């Protein structure tokens, strides 16, 4: 597991997927460094957590 993937995973777990726009930009930047295996197997899981949380009306992304 790459360190950037671990950082992204921590960010998603810490926020429960409720990322602000700045945090989402950070996630996207970190995702650029994911290994091929991480992209194929684990990135979708993290993105699903973020997506599901962003659907809720109280999501931080709606505040900005």
Digit-coded pLDDT (tens) for 20-51: 999 999 999 999 999 999 999 999 999 999 99
Tokens read off for 3: 């360190």
CA distances, 2 to each of 7, 22, 30, 42 (Å): 9, 22, 10, 12
Largest CA distance in the chain: 34
pLDDT at 64 over 70: no
Is 5:35 a contact under the CB 8 Å cutoff? yes
pLDDT at 61 over 90: no
Q: Give the integer Cα–Cα distance in Å for 53 and 58.
A: 9
pTM for this entry = 0.88
pLDDT at 62 over 80: no
Average pLDDT over the chain, rounded to an integer: 93
């Amino acid at each position: 597991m790459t360190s950037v993937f671990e950082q992204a995973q921590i960010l998603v777990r810490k926020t429960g997927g409720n990322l602000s726009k700045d945090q989402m930009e950070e996630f996207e930047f970190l995702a650029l460094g994911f290994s091929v295996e991480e992209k194929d197997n684990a990135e979708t899981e993290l993105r699903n957590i973020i997506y599901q949380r962003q659907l809720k009306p109280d999501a931080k992304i709606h505040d900005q």
